[in-house]
């Protein structure tokens, strides 16, 4: 009986931890990112800053119109490298596969 109680507590603990990091439809390997707004800079716009400090410039941001990309917004981001020239010179060029808002 004690074994079942311990197993139940462990299962509940794991469920609680994974629920805090839910990524609203993006794959589990999505990156945590922060929206950075460089619209005031010549030819720049929205850039995504990853947890390691690297920055990503998306080529297809217009394909995801459901979010208001505001400075400091937290998002889940799944992307792949893309070809093309950087408009800002701030980060790597990517094509977004999935993006969704996150809480923290």
- pLDDT for 104 equals 85
Predicted TM-score (pTM) of the model is 0.74
CA distance 25 to 56: 21
Q: Please tell me the distance from the alpha carbon of residue 53 to that of residue 19, in angstroms, as a whole number.
A: 25
Query: What was the pLDDT predicted at 18?
Result: 43
CA dist., res. 100 & res. 44, Å (int): 22
- pLDDT computed for residue 42 by the predictor: 73
Domains delineated in the chain = 24-101 (2.40.50.500)
CB within 8 Å of 35: residues ≥ 6 apart: 46, 47, 48, 69, 70, 71, 72, 73, 74, 75
- Note the pLDDT of residue 6: 46
pLDDT at 2: 59
Render each residue's pLDDT in the chain as its tens digit; 104 residues: 555 554 444 544 444 344 444 556 788 889 999 999 998 877 889 999 999 999 999 999 999 988 889 999 999 999 999 998 888 888 999 999 999 999 88
Residue 12, SS3 per DSSP: helix
């Amino acid at each position: 009986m004690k074994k079942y109680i311990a197993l139940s507590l462990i299962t509940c603990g794991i469920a609680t931890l994974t629920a805090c990091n839910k990524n609203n439809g993006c794959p589990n390997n999505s990156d945590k990112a922060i929206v950075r707004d460089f619209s005031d800079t010549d030819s720049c716009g929205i850039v995504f800053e990853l947890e390691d400090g690297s920055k990503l410039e998306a080529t297809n941001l217009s394909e995801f119109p459901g979010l208001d990309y505001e400075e400091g917004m937290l998002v889940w981001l799944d992307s792949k490298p893309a070809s093309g020239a950087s408009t800002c010179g701030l980060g790597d060029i990517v094509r977004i596969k999935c993006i969704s808002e996150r809480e923290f």
